[in-house]
Amino acid sequence: MGSRYSRNSRRPTPMEEDPEVRAGTSQETGEVEGELEADEEGVGSGPDSGDDSDSGDFDLAQVLALLLRSGQVRLIQTRGSGIALLRSSDSDEDDPTSCSEACCPEGDSQPDTKTLDDSDFKQEVLLATARAQSFSPPQACITRMLKQREVGLPKRCDGFTSGQCSWIGSSFVPNSMRAVAQYRHKAFCGQYSLDGSVFLSACQDQNIRLYNVANGKFQEFRTIRARDVGWSVLDTAFSPDGCYLIYSSWSDAIHLCNIYGDYETHIALDLNPSERRFCIFSLTFSSDNKEVLGGANDGCLYIYDRERNERTLRIESHEDDVNAVAYADDSSQILYSGGDDGLCRVWDRRMLSENNPNAVGTLAGHSDGITFIDSKSDARHLISNSKDQTIKLWDVRKFSPPEGLEASRRAVANQNWDYRWQPVPKRVRTSSARLAGDTSLMTYRGHGVLHTLVRCRFSPVHTTGQRFIYSGCSTGSVVVYDVLTGKIVEKLRGHKACVRDVSWHPYEPKIMSTGWDGVLGLWEWRRRIHDPLDDSDSDELWEDEEEEDRKRRKRSPRKDGKRHALSNLPSSIMGEVV
């Protein structure tokens, strides 16, 4: 119904993740697309794909794919003939993956927060960041807070509360980047382990690199050569115990690898799909480490049981590709999925069966496909990134009515552009109207979703109280939103191509950005010289501290004398005074 591609029709080439090969559905490019779809046997497969069938026969699609992969040519959109070949020596001005602020939606100057203001979510975030009305507001100056802590104030605790720690941490949003790694190919995935000691990077060169990032280091300690790769590794995940990782690509299997040890474990977990062209776009471990959940291009959810060593469930979940999956919390009983049909679905693992593939509920409000989902890990809230150039915040207790599902399906079906290689249409870039039946709590605008499945996430609990949402961007930026106001806190510019993945360290003020320019960017906080256009909390914080210092230096002699007199009092009396 809302699917852009029929289930029974031939699908585009396996390189879903790159606009240079999958040309889209525009009428202008119909002939070229038909040629590319003629035969995908071996197209986009790497040297380790293991597919030797018809190795001596290469048609136009295969040759073109090899040239595109090597970087010798690329496809660009033209007004007359639809698509043209551009040699690598030509100008980059028309590169469809190059940065362009012009095609990125502007952030809302006055976001609509009415629904969010009346929600439990707002109170939870205020409480987590020591800003709830039932508590005294935090001091505006960190030095004063440190002083009060050292002298034992407030008396009700020995140190900072978790909320105060989060408030302090959220004042130091990373704002300065340095490149810690540079690859010759596009980098697709990058994430910190749960304890923040390891960083994983997956690149189009079919290498998965593991870095030791403990104690300020960034040292590569292991490289895993990915197997059976079509085009690139598209998603990765750490196991809950931090000992293993899994990755997926255009392949019938996902692969499990060990992180530590002298010997390499590299196991293929066969999902036995029914379609010849198959890819898991998103995958994750269950919290008990027993199952792997994945979302695939055939519109199905797959669950692989590690103890039984077999696929146990295949659930028809969406009308088009499933681009994102996530667990709601550590219980791993509630699942989320998002697809190219523009819908988020909520599933109960305890009720899930192939004979009864019914979702608990559906969240509708996006007008185009969903690229990523991140859970707040509270079993209630999640965010979804979409090709409609927005992030939406959801409460799973508020499912969408039937008219909401129909409105979303209709909006997705009416899309006539392809995000992989076309710029964002003006009507999409400037639209702020809510669809009928949209039950989202909040909508965030100001980042670009083009070329690939761009990720967005909640900021860490420990250091920020999940006060922020941050996302990659097609313009080569990392965009950080205030989750309660919807305004952009930081737009971190440092990459020359699309930033596909972002990962905030769970315990330190650091963000890693993974870009299609082959750069791994490490973002850290640096004090800035005051800029009239920069209204970041960090600058205001330091201005408050400097103002406090000036007041201290101008303190009247009378007050100084009083303080001196108090300091000479006996300690027992001084304790009563304080």
Phi then psi for 515, rounded to 5 degrees? -120, 160
Tell me the angle at which helices 142-150 and 162-169 cross, rounded to the nearest 10 degrees. Answer: 150
Q: pLDDT value at position 180?
A: 98
Phi then psi for 67, rounded to 5 degrees? -65, -40
Domain spans of the chain, in order of start: 27-95, 170-524, 528-578
Q: pLDDT value at position 102?
A: 63
> pLDDT grade, residue 37 (50/70/90)?
very low
Contact by Cβ (8 Å): 494, 513: yes
CA distance 49 to 45: 6
Q: pLDDT value at position 202?
A: 98
CA distance 369 to 542: 42
Contact by Cβ (8 Å): 211, 219: yes
Report the percent of the chain where pLDDT is more than 90.
61
Residue type for 313, please? L
Residue 400, both tokens: 């969408």
Q: Which of 536, 369, 518 is nearest to 454 (CA)?
A: 369
CA distance 406 to 21: 32
Q: pLDDT value at position 498?
A: 97
Contact by Cβ (8 Å): 385, 458: no
DSSP 50: -
Residue 409, both tokens: 């399906």
CA distance 465 to 125: 7
Q: Which of 108-112, 232-236, 341-345, 365-369 has the lowest mean pLDDT?
A: 108-112
H or E stretch at 492: strand 488-493
Residue 440, both tokens: 């989202």
> How far is Cα of residue 521 from the mean position of the Cα atoms in its chain?
15
The most confident of the ranges 91-95, 378-382, 540-544 is 378-382
CATH class of 170-524: mainly beta
Q: pLDDT value at position 344?
A: 98
For the whole model, what pTM was predicted? 0.78
**Which residues, including other chains, have CB under 8 Å from residue 547's CB and lie 6 or more apart?**
none
List, for residues 318-350, the tens digit of each pLDDT value. 999 999 999 999 999 999 999 999 999 999 999
List, for residues 257-267, the tens digit of each pLDDT value. 999 999 999 99
Q: Which of 233, 268, 236, 231 is nearest to 252 (CA)?
A: 268
Q: Which of 245, 191, 207, 208 is nearest to 501 (CA)?
A: 191
Contact by Cβ (8 Å): 169, 463: yes
List, for residues 202-245, the tens digit of each pLDDT value. 999 999 999 999 989 999 999 999 999 988 999 999 999 999 99
For residues 102-129, average pLDDT: 88
Q: pLDDT value at position 489?
A: 96
User: Which sign, positive or negative, has the C-alpha torsion 521, 481, 378, 284?
Assistant: negative
